[in-house]
Amino acid sequence: MRFCLLLCCILLGNLAFTQNAPSYFKPVSEGEIQLPETAVRKLVPQKYLSFQLDYPGIKAALQTAPQEFTEAARQHSCTIALPTADGTMEDFAVWEIAMLEPALAAELPFIRTFAGESLRDKRKKVRLSYTLKGFQAMIMNPNLGVEYLDRYAEGQTKYYIVYDRKDSPLEERPQVPTAWITPDTKATDPTAIKQDQLVQARGDQADPVKLRIYKYVVSNTGEYGLDNGPTKNDVMSAKTEHTNRVSGILERDVSLRLQLIQATLLVTYTDPASAPFSGTLVPGWAGQNQDILDAAGIPRAAYDVGHVYARYMGGGAVGIAGGLSCLGSKAGGCTGGGGAYGDGFISTIGQEVGHQFTGGHTWNRCGGGAGRANGSAFEPGSGSTIMSYAGACGSDNVQGYSDLYYHAGSIQEMQTWLFVNDGSSCGTIVETDNHTPVVTLDYQDGFFIPWGTPFELDGSATDSDGDPLMYSWEEIDIGPEVPLTQPTANSPIFRSWPADTVTNRYFPRLSRILSNTFDVTEQMPGPWTRDLTFRLSARDNRTGGVGWADVAFKAWGQAGPFKVQAPNTTGITWNTGEYTEVRWDVAKTNEAPVNCRFVNIRLSTDGGLTYPVTLAEHVSNDGSHFVLAPAISTTQARIRIDAENSVFFDVSDRNFTIQAPTQPSLTLSLNNDSGILCLPAEHAVEILTAGVLGFSNPVSLEIVGALPPNVTANFSSTTLQPGESATLKLDFSQVTVAQEFTITVQAAAAGVTPILRDIVLTTLRNDFSALALTLPANGATELQLSQTLHWTKAVDALYYDVQFASDPSFAPGTILASTNSTTLDNFTLPILLVKGTPYFWRVRPVNACGAADWTDPFFFSTYAEACTVWEANDLPKSLTSNGTPTIESKITVNAGGAIKSVEVHQLKGYHEFFKDLDVHLISPQGTDLTLWTNKCGNFNGSFNLRLTDAAPGAFPCPPPNTGLAYRPQNALNSAFFGQNSAGVWTLRVRDLNIGGGGNFEIFSLEFCSEVVVNPPYLVNNNMLVLDPGTNKGITPDLLLVEDANNTHSELEYTLLTVPEYGHLSLNGSDPLQPGAKFTQAQLDNGALHFFDYGGSYADNGFRFMVTDGEGGFFGTPKFRIGHMLVGANEPAAAGFDFRLFPNPANESVWLAVDQPMSGDVRVALFNMAGQLMQEALLPSGADRLQLHTAGLPRGMYLVQVQGSVRKLVLK
């Protein structure tokens, strides 16, 4: 073990320190500071503290620091005390880190770099160094804020200042003056690069953290050398200090280290005369850097990423990233600084290096200027994180300067490059002893909240290393580029905030909610339906220790705002012990798709900061509820109403008072006094009474006025003592109209005014009988590859859910397209279908009562063709950035024929200015077709697409990188139809403008010709007849298909539906479900049996389709199943009619028979597998029975009463 010189205490095992680490700093006033004549003050923060340092002492102490990742480092064998911006001294354990590769470190022994962590809070980290220039440190606080410990003046090592970065000199803040705003002219769009392999959630397992170290070569302009010289070693000292600070942020957030290589000495210049850079612009220097590195004799294999440190001298860009690490353009980065090369320089390097590792700009709009990254614009307006343009965007500014941390979306982009994509092809990996925090979210994606309503997200995280964690919730939505004050569609609306110790976040901030004030950087969803996606990140602030998990849901534009209405004004007082009404605007949140059926009502006594008192739970979301004022005295009461099982809420706008009552009185409350009834239904209302200050006179209950037609009412008791309760049962089972009904209850007692309370109930019908699927027709074949599904509407449906699948099971992995909550009677499929393939679709109606059953699925198949794909073997080819080059790629088709259809099967490449591309396809006959030209504005990045006339959508912008199909700018088939496909096909690509380069990697064509299909045909489809409760095989005399050119083993049946009153079994299997398959050969061998459940039914059977595996299909007849007829001398079973309501049901269902029973009757509840789930007796003389179903899983059941059977759905 090594020991810190003079100051370290010995640690045994994991024992804590028992004394403070000595400090080499002591406070000093400005008047006491005596600088050498040659010293120059370059950095003067707005606020700072000054100190005198024992520089030789701290150097000596740091020289004994252990190496990183060693046991001595883990045991904190070396500590020093550092001053912080609040004036306190704090102890840090430190260890040495390798910011210089070994050969360079040996050549520059006067430069050493270190890292460490606070002994008070492990989440607080530090980066340190000493060089020829002196000492320097950067403290990274748990909330991702930063403090700097810098030299008071350059040219001396005795005096230092400590300050918070927010107090940096204005000229040093990481903002880009307006004149500097231009796009990073050669920056890539990182989301367009191999995003099919995007790093997924890092919070699902405690992964070991790997540090990826990249060889970093930094050249510099002569002016940077002048500012940081005078010697080459002085300039190298400055480069090390700047790189160490930037790398500290990159290591913490991204697990990425920039390690300076020895060759950096070859491109370190002390003045303009010695530097080979020309011009005065940052983009120009970035463009020259590769040639300069080459001319210096630095092999390209010697480094992974290159950058230029420069003095900003004017022009439109302060930083440029002209290429990506590990690739041929890896040296194209440059950052310009000025003044003291302080915080602003560090932040800009962080952004430009971020670009070189595929981190895109995170801002959504910056005054309408260029440079927006279409795939990473996660932040509203200018944004506020490192990859933002905070402070440079005028009215779009979120804040005046960027915070020194990476957005969670940027971390995912960059880690994808580091560990999955091309960034993993270079650099070296060092295993660390850290592990990724595990993040857990208790949400299921896809729920809805109302617009204009606050919401709260929460989660949890654990760290297997026991590290304390910091948390941040960030939005990761990408939408249109719009001004900060005018969000639309899915544009981001919530800014990023630095990390916090709590796991929850209010949207917007709680302070804004309580003060009823508006903030353009945190806007509640507007009155349209939109997506909302958020990420909870958990950070241990050690190397790469960032875990995350996402939740995705929607704001529904037809529900909201959900708002507290009372108590909500000034001058309100509640009396303890009295029932008082809380009112809120439901705003359709009780209807689908928000489906908030219940709310919780909570009370705050501190003005809305906390809500320790729950006044009511599981209250119907009907807009009103009476709560009993608690025995609390406060003038700062607020009400919060939370959606149960959702995330949205609202808080009353103003404080109100709760006080003790002054006179006796009667108070009354009704529970469940409003709601929606799904006919037929019964409704129970609980009536609660209470006496205040000893009131004890009897209370009488009655209904005032006439009951609605066909409604009956029954009180459990009409006379109560104060404090007792009663139940009012209302029977709507005979009501058939959809309407709102009001029923008034009166409570009267001597000595007080009678109290009236209204019960408001809305009845809804569930007649969906008119719903029918229409087009494409069931069983249709030879259809085109783009389709629109059609159906007829049902009167009582509010909207429809639609599913389109590759299999009639509609299992999650088979759903190809879907839509929820459409009010239309059609759905255009957003995907290109596959030739010669069967598809299945279904629809279900939905209203406020919930979703009904799915329709039986329809089946159709697409046309079949004989197709061949030909791929070019002369790629990749590059488009240089010099001039306006043209490249060609050729495909020779050896065996051709008349073209029926042609498509560009795949076209993959990259270009820095996509709109410069002019792309043509030329046939062997010389027909020249423009695929696209001058498209997609400022997009720069990768593309991967398929072009076909059959695609449902036109070529979009930004250009796709998914390989999906789109229509080209001009139709392919009309240009090439009938031509012979044999010969040489040419892809010709022209770059129309100077300055941007790129390449084409893959080019392939698909040619198709017509084929003749012999589909299967039906021979036998005869009813299966069997005795109730028995089983029987389905044999070829009952069900048989044939095909002209296929055997029975090649003819495959697929079940579209299954029998309702029994099940199918294949070779003794469990009951078959929709999507199950069997062959005609299996039917021939007696493998398929039907097992009857008994009882009586009018219609039973299953639907099916058949395929021959060659593009031939047949469907969808119904195979029918029936019972043996009852003989003339056998008595028929005693059948009668009964009803189930509500159906679908939740916690219970009522069974009502058409006549009272003359004796006890058995009632049985079966699941669809025939298992008996519940039994009950309907007593003699009774006409109804309640079945309790709360403990049963959701799904379909059968209820049997003697010989009659009805279906029941539990939702």
pLDDT in tens, 342-381: 999 999 999 999 999 999 999 999 998 888 888 899 999 9
Q: Are 889 and 1003 in contact (CB under 8 A)?
A: yes
Q: What is the CATH number of domain 772-862?
A: 2.60.40.10
Taken in order 940, 943, 949, 951, the sign of the CA dihedral is: negative
Hey, do 865-1010 and 1138-1210 end up sharing a CATH topology, with the first three levels equal?
no
Residue type, 763: T
Q: What is the pLDDT of residue 369?
A: 85
3-state secondary structure 360-408: CCCECCCCCCCCCCCCCCCECCCCCCCCCCCCCCHHHCCCCCCCCCCCH
pLDDT value at 1203 more than 90: no
* The residue to which tokens 């639309």 are assigned: 488
Rounded distance between C-alpha atoms, residue 417 and residue 751, angstroms:
79
Residue type, 813: G
Helices 232-254 and 408-419 pack at an angle, to 10 degrees, of 100
| Residue 1131: pLDDT band with limits 50, 70, 90 | very low
Taken in order 65, 70, 72, 75, the sign of the CA dihedral is: positive
Distances (CA, A) of 331 to 67, 291, 304, 352, 941: 30, 9, 8, 12, 17
Tokens in use for 908?
A: 């993959």
CATH topology of domain 1017-1123: Immunoglobulin-like (2.60.40)
Beta strands 961-966 and 850-851: pairing type? unpaired
Q: What is the pLDDT of residues 22-52, one digit of tens each?
A: 789 999 999 999 999 999 999 999 999 999 9
pLDDT value at 264 more than 90: yes
CATH topology of domain 172-183+209-425: Collagenase (Catalytic Domain) (3.40.390)
Residue type, 911: H
Q: What is the pLDDT of residue 5?
A: 34
Q: What is the pLDDT of residues 174-219, one digit of tens each?
A: 444 332 323 333 333 333 333 344 555 455 556 789 999 999 999 9
pLDDT value at 975 more than 80: yes
* The residue to which tokens 């569930």 are assigned: 766
Q: How would you class 669 by CB atoms within 10 Å of its CB: exposed for 0-12, middle for 13-18, buried for 19 or more?
A: buried
Helices in 958-1054 by DSSP H: which ranges? 973-976
The four Cα atoms 428, 434, 435, 441 give a dihedral, to 10 degrees, of -120
For the segment 703-728, the average pLDDT, to the nearest whole number, is 94
Rounded distance between C-alpha atoms, residue 98 and residue 257, angstroms:
9
Rounded distance between C-alpha atoms, residue 542 and residue 145, angstroms:
15
Residue 584 bridge partners (DSSP): 564
Q: How many CB atoms lie within 10 A of CB 848?
A: 16
Rounded distance between C-alpha atoms, residue 372 and residue 483, angstroms:
13
Rounded distance between C-alpha atoms, residue 311 and residue 335, angstroms:
8
pLDDT value at 77 more than 60: yes
Q: Are 217 and 289 in contact (CB under 8 A)?
A: no
Rounded distance between C-alpha atoms, residue 1130 and residue 842, angstroms:
43
> Domain boundaries in the chain?
25-167, 172-183+209-425, 434-556, 663-765, 772-862, 865-1010, 1017-1123, 1138-1210
Q: Is 1160 helix (H, G, I), strand (E, B) or coil?
A: coil
Q: Which of 93, 68, 67, 89 is nearest to 79 (CA)?
A: 93
* In the chain, % of residues over pLDDT 90: 73
Tokens in use for 1092?
A: 């009857």
| Residue 1208: pLDDT band with limits 50, 70, 90 | low
Radius of gyration of the chain, Cα coordinates, nearest whole angstrom: 37
> Could you tell me which CATH class the domain 865-1010 is placed in?
mainly beta
| Residue 671: pLDDT band with limits 50, 70, 90 | confident
pLDDT value at 1130 more than 60: no
Tokens in use for 244?
A: 């160490």
Please name the residues in contact with 632: beta carbons below 8 A apart, sequence gap of 6 or more. 576, 603, 605, 613, 658
Q: What is the pLDDT of residue 1094?
A: 80
Q: How many CB atoms lie within 10 A of CB 1132?
A: 8
Tokens in use for 81?
A: 């005390």
Please name the residues in contact with 722: beta carbons below 8 A apart, sequence gap of 6 or more. 666, 689, 690, 691, 695, 696, 697, 699, 749
Let me know how many helices (H) and strands (E) the chain has, helices first.
Answer: 11, 77
CA 712 to chain centre: 50
- Mean pLDDT, rounded, of the chain: 90
Q: Are 1179 and 1160 in contact (CB under 8 A)?
A: yes
Q: What is the CATH number of domain 434-556?
A: 2.60.40.10
Please name the residues in contact with 1057: beta carbons below 8 A apart, sequence gap of 6 or more. 808, 856, 857, 1074, 1102, 1103
Q: Is 194 helix (H, G, I), strand (E, B) or coil?
A: coil
Rounded distance between C-alpha atoms, residue 885 and residue 440, angstroms:
52
> Could you tell me which CATH class the domain 1138-1210 is placed in?
mainly beta
Q: Which residues of 417-438 are buried (b: 16+ CB within 10 A; e: fewer)?
A: bbebbebeebbeebebebbbbb
The DSSP symbol for 1192 reads S
Q: What is the pLDDT of residues 793-808, one digit of tens each?
A: 999 998 999 999 999 9
* The residue to which tokens 């409003």 are assigned: 674
Residue type, 715: F
pLDDT value at 611 more than 90: yes
pLDDT value at 675 more than 90: no
CATH 2.60.40.10 fits 663-765, yes or no: yes
CA 797 to chain centre: 30
Q: What is the pLDDT of residue 962?
A: 87
Q: Is 605 helix (H, G, I), strand (E, B) or coil?
A: coil
Residue type, 163: Y
| Residue 172: pLDDT band with limits 50, 70, 90 | low
Q: What is the pLDDT of residue 1169?
A: 63
Residue 952 bridge partners (DSSP): none
For the segment 609-620, the average pLDDT, to the nearest whole number, is 96
